[in-house]
Chain A
Amino acid sequence: MTSPGYATERETTEGRVFTVTGGDWDTITNNIDPLSNEKIVVNLGPQHPSTHGVLRLVLELEGEKVTEVRPVIGYLHTGIEKNLEYRNWTQGTTFVTRADYLAPLFNEAGYVLAVEKLLGIEDEITERAKTIRVLFMELNRISSHLVWLGTTGLELGAISMMLYGFREREYILDVFEETSGLRMNHAYFRPGGVAQDIPDSAIKKIRDFLVYMPKKLKEYEAMLNGQVIWHQRTQGVGVLDVTGCLALGVTGPVLRAAGLAWDLRKTMPYSGYENYEFDVPTATTSDVWGRYLVRIAEIRESLKIVEQALDKLRPGPIFVSDKKIAWPAQLAVGLDGMGNSLEHVAKIMGQSMESLIHHFKLVTEGFRVPPGQVYVGIEHPRGELGVHAVSDGGTHPYRVHMRDPSFVNLQAIPAMAEGALLADVIAGGASLDPVMGGCDR
């Protein structure tokens, strides 16, 4: 077995014990067990705290070096697209908002923009509704980036970053709750406008947040920018250049960190983004560090847009005037805690039978959408969110497909991680910011 002079062996009650004194480790292990020198396969997830939800990675390792990564998804598939086909167009917002749960307003925005394009009413959306949408999308972008910063910090060893990120996000969720009644999964954007007007108290909170957040951003940077461990865990890690990004369909901060300033808010504007002044931050390092810099800079740009949107906000209707589409949108909190429009209830219940019929038809049956198909792409915090909506002329969607950026970006994990160390798989995967709710839908 072992050649003399390398390892001596003796039998004990626990089994055979080798005493190794120098020599080539491979030679020794090969003699004992030829299999132990081969690659090992490690299953990471789907229930692992550092895989961002129920992502499963099957890794083939040679020592600590990763030779092959195979992402396995589908653990959070909830059939949102199928379910949409059994509800009316307005009810659809309640479903799509639950796909990517960290950016619910973007799911809604993509969906309602597609429905509005199918209806041909994009030009009739009121200025105030558009401004509120931009305002809320940008706040949502900040909250989503804060969760990214927090969870990535947690995974790379900066645990306090997680506490800070979630603390600041709470301010934004308060604003959402104040306006839509819900912290997450708002169903706030509706085809034709937004569900209800933004209260003055929420506007005050946003103004306070605009003062508060820049200070906190400086704190984050003071903590992370010069941190040696943060540098070592991020710089030169998870590299993916522009060619790789485009081949694999990767968009959003990952693409911008590779140097291409592709942002749909600028390149194919929607919801009036062409009227706001902001920059598209880029980096040239193509690594996790660059993605961190881009996201921090994007939070600053979003704050700029939020401020401009607040200044643009003028009183006015928040829903299209067409009563065949518009739900009652001036809601007040009723005795049961639910949103009600007292004026509207008084009208349909006490004054006008026709209004009651119309209300009943609109709410239970919904409106009809002319047949056809559209694709709408918007800039989601993680990249391009595309909604392909098909109508056959009925009151229900015939087909809605969501091109979720998490789904597409996750394909890039093998390209970033193969050949690197096991620890860099976590850093690279985290830098894509995958949210499995959106990925699996």
Chain B
Amino acid sequence: MSIEPTNPEQSTGGVPVNAEPVGADIDAPAQVPPNPRKGMFGITGSGDVSGFGGLVRRAPEVVSTPKPYGGYFDEVTDALEEAYPGFADAIEKVVVDRGQLTLHIKAERIAEVAQIMRDDESLRFELCSSLSAVDYLNSDPRRFHVVYELTSMTYRRRVRLEVAVADGVTVPSVTSVYPTADWHERETYDMYGVIFTGHPNLTRILMPDDWEGHPQRKDYPLGGVPVEYKGAEIPPPDQRRVYQ
């Protein structure tokens, strides 16, 4: 009695044992079917980067901190509330974390708030230290969070303003309040594709002018080429087997 070779397409048991390698001709390079595994033990979709699949990493939920905030944070928020009539409408959340104050602000109000933060006598945030963005892909529908780090040299204080926008939604530019934001906003546009309305010259700054895509987005691949070392081939960092 001869044993008929099973047809892989008809079997229901997944990958057949002893499946014939494809392209196993003499002198031809071995062709191994692509390995769909992602994590170390084939765990995908759990959000766990360890590859061990034990833990599910959930998107951290940012919640408002209850008053009093402590330190100078109460003074800053009270002063802003007093100076800015639209406070209740514009400020979405006030978060104090690790000794730092973050004001989450509606995107369309950011330029107004920045103006008051700079000019009000009891606020006086003269310097916009930094401006950049974070891409919260898959964890926030308004995926791009533009972050403004303001410094008050008068009172020696720092405050972070944060604005969340979905892809394609514009943010008013703060260059008229803080001219230093010019290059920062260009960089944020270059890296994330966030459009700042009212910016005098919103062009790419770090990438070439004809570059396609925005490299710091989370769905933009890191890229890279496999590197051969002593006969072994090391794949680029974002395609390695572990710890993705």
Contacts and interface: CB of A to CB of B under 8 A. Distances in A.
B95 to A, nearest CB: 9
B59 interface: yes
Contacts of B158: 268, 375, 377
B222 A408 contact: no
B130 A403 contact: yes
Contact of B180 (A74, A390, A396, A411): A411
Contacts of B208: 74
Interface stretch (B23-31, B105-113, B235-243): B235-243
A165 interface: no
A120 interface: yes
Contacts of B135: 399
B89 interface: no
Interface stretch (B11-19, B65-73, B80-88, B121-129): B121-129
A87 B237 contact: yes
Contacts of B98: 117-118, 120, 372, 374
B97 to A, nearest CB: 5
B59 A392 contact: yes
A245 to B, nearest CB: 9
A233 interface: no
Given A375-B149, A388-B147, A77 B207 contact: yes
A365 B243 contact: yes
B207 to A, nearest CB: 7
A136 interface: no
A365 B50 contact: yes
B99 to A, nearest CB: 8
B183 A262 contact: no
B156 interface: yes
A134 to B, nearest CB: 21
Nearest to A374: B98
Contacts of B222: 79, 82-83, 85-86
B132 A388 contact: yes
B226 interface: no
Interface residues of B, number: 47
Interface in B34-65: 49-51, 57, 59-60
Contact of B216 (A81, A248, A268, A377): A81
B143 interface: no
B128 A82 contact: no
Interface string A403-431: 10001101100000000000000000000
Given A247-B180, A365-B50, A74 B205 contact: yes
Contacts of A408: 180, 183-184
Contacts of A73: 205-206
A395 B180 contact: no
A441 B191 CA distance: 12
Contacts of B147: 373, 388, 401
Nearest to B58: A393
Contacts of B180: 247-250, 408, 411
Interface string B199-225: 000001111100000011000001000
Contact of A249 (B51, B139, B178, B191): B178
Given A364-B242, A388-B130, A394 B49 contact: yes
The A interface is mostly helix, strand or loop, or mixed, namely mixed
A45 to B, nearest CB: 16
Given A268-B156, A364-B243, A247 B178 contact: yes
B129 A384 contact: yes
Nearest to A72: B205
Nearest to B180: A249
Given A74-B208, A386-B149, A392 B57 contact: yes
Contact of A86 (B50, B184, B237): B237
A197 interface: no
B198 interface: no
B116 to A, nearest CB: 17
A373 B134 contact: yes
Contact of B60 (A88, A248, A372): A372
A73 B128 CA distance: 21
* Residue from B57, B178, B180, B205 with most neighbouring chain A CB atoms (10 Å): B180
A117 B98 CA distance: 7
Contacts of B237: 83, 86-87
B242 A248 contact: no
Interface centre among B160, B205, B208 (most CB of A within 10 A): B205
A351 interface: no
A246 interface: yes
A249 B100 contact: no
Nearest to B139: A392
B153 interface: yes
Contact of B160 (A83, A375, A396, A410): A375
A288 B208 CA distance: 32
Given A82-B216, A396-B49, A403-B132, A249 B127 contact: yes
B179 interface: yes
Contact of A74 (B97, B100, B153, B206): B206
Contacts of B156: 267-268
Given A77-B206, A249-B180, A250-B180, 9 more contacts: A73-B205, A246-B127, A375-B100, A377-B151, A384-B129, A388-B130, A392-B57, A401-B132, A441-B206
Interface of A: 73-74, 77, 79, 81-83, 85-88, 117-118, 120, 246-251, 260, 262, 267-268, 364-365, 371-375, 377, 384, 386, 388, 390, 392-396, 398-399, 401, 403, 407-408, 410-411, 440-441
Interface of B: 49-51, 57, 59-60, 97-100, 102, 126-130, 132, 134-135, 139, 147, 149, 151, 153, 156, 158, 160, 178-180, 182-184, 187, 191, 204-208, 215-216, 222, 237-238, 242-243
5 contacts: A247-B180, A268-B158, A372-B98, A373-B160, A403-B132
Give the top 4 A-B pairs by smallest Cβ distance, nearest first.
Answer: A249-B180, A371-B60, A403-B130, A401-B132
